[in-house]
Amino acid sequence: MAEVLVLVDHLEGEIKKSTYELLTAARTLGEPSAVVVGAAGTAAKLADGLAGHGAEKIYVAETDDASFLTPEVSVLASLVESASPAAVLIAVTPDGKEIAGRLAVRTNSAWLNDVVAIAGDGVTHSVFGGAFVAEAKANTEHPVITLRPGSVDIEPTAGAGAQETVTVTVDGRNATVTSREPIVGGDRPELTEASVVVSGGRGVGSADDFGVVEGLADTLGAAVGASRAAVDSGYYPHQFQVGQTGKTVSPQLYIALGISGAIQHRAGMQTSKTIIAVNKDAEAPIFEIADFGVVGDLFTVAPQLKDEIAKRK
Ligand code: FAD
């Protein structure tokens, strides 16, 4: 059976949930091999966490050169050449998309982006800002497929997996990082990984009032998101923007507070499993995709919701 390379998405020593989704999806295409790339002393440690998810082989590549931009591209490109995999699977994240684009060019492969399902030799992906889904097939060998986090249910395997660990050398640098700026996210879960997201829109009205959104999020252990109008108005930082020009999320529960539901916002959240909208305008388009809707003032509804949830804890 053909090998399928899965790039392990990890942060601060933890494997992200999206990696297990990739490993589950990879099994429909062939035999998954996990590829872990990280700073010296960090990547090899993650191999144990991959057991039970079907990776027969784990490629480990470590580098202590912090100025190496996306070493994943070099590692994956050399593995594409040596292993000739059926496909390379990467999570849809800002880094994942950068790696996928560079890798596709480097290996002369098709890139199928924002995929929400893989079946047989084809994929379903979300196009035109989520307005349509399209069925697609790559016409090249070893296509690069970026899978939207949250679109596949994780299915662990019965066997231990991970029979073999192979060390890969990191080389072939063609771009250098000159500075890095940490993104401050606080103690809340990472937006694209969170199983619950509470987002605020222009209806929140000010940066100070975003405390209402944060308060509800904290009661639920959720990540906080924002619409572009909220970001552009300076209510919340851009790194939390959900939508076509922000992040794509697909949590179990998405709560939209004071968000009208423009197509560009929906593009980033409409695959959420359950959507709750609170808006004082009963005609707001967000209600077209909401599973539950409350027509009301968010400053009344959100605190009530928060108190009810807190009582039940
Ligand atoms: P509005 O559309 O102004 O809606 C505010 C809502 O709040 C209204 O429905 C109102 O009834 C409700 N409201 C007001 N007060 C209250 C209250 N007290 N209680 C309850 N409800 C209340 N947008 C994104 O979000 N993400 C993107 O990535 C994105 N990318 C874009 C890319 C392009 C190329 C373009 C052209 C636009 C993009 N946009 C994006 C902008 C998008 O078109 C909308 O303008 C934006 O999503 C609107 O944000 P909003 O719903 O917060 O604001």
Each residue of 138-189: pLDDT tens digit? 999 999 999 998 889 999 887 666 578 888 888 877 788 898 776 656 789 9
The two tokens of residue 295 are 């027509």
Per the document, the length of the chain is 313
Q: Could you identify the atom of ligand 1 that is nearest to the CA of residue 201?
A: 52
Q: For residue 262, give the amino acid letter.
A: A
For ligand 1, atom 35, which residue shows the shortest CA distance?
264
pLDDT on residue 199: 98
Q: Collapsing DSSP states into helix, strand and coil, what is residue 76? A: helix
122-127 and 111-119 beta bridge pairing: antiparallel
* Residue pLDDT, tens place only, 226-245: 999 999 999 999 999 999 88
How many Å lie between the centroid of ligand 1 and the Cα of residue 116? 25
pLDDT on residue 185: 60
pLDDT on residue 162: 59
d(CA 27, CA 89): 11
For ligand 1, atom 18, which residue shows the shortest CA distance?
297
Of the candidates 267, 255, 297, 41, the one whose C-alpha atom is nearest the C-alpha of residue 148 is 267
pLDDT level of residue 106 (50, 70, 90 thresholds): very high
Q: Could you identify the atom of ligand 1 that is nearest to the CA of residue 227?
A: 25
ipTM of the complex model: 0.99
For ligand 1, atom 26, which residue shows the shortest CA distance?
243
303, 282 contact by CB (below 8 A): no
pTM for the model = 0.75
Rounded to the nearest 10°, the torsion over CA 112, 228, 270, 279 is -170
d(CA 288, CA 257): 15
Whole-number percent of the chain with pLDDT over 70: 96
Q: For residue 109, give the amino acid letter.
A: S
Dihedrals φ, ψ of 249, to 5°?
-125, 150
Q: Could you identify the atom of ligand 1 that is nearest to the CA of residue 230?
A: 52
Residues flanking ligand 1, CB < 6 Å? 201-203, 227-230, 241-246, 258-260, 262, 264-265, 268, 278-281, 284, 297-299
Of the candidates 224, 204, 201, 205, the one whose C-alpha atom is nearest the C-alpha of residue 214 is 224
Q: Could you identify the atom of ligand 1 that is nearest to the CA of residue 261?
A: 51
111-119 and 292-295 beta bridge pairing: unpaired
d(CA 285, CA 256): 12
Q: Collapsing DSSP states into helix, strand and coil, what is residue 155? A: coil
Q: Collapsing DSSP states into helix, strand and coil, what is residue 121? A: coil
* Residue pLDDT, tens place only, 210-219: 999 999 999 9
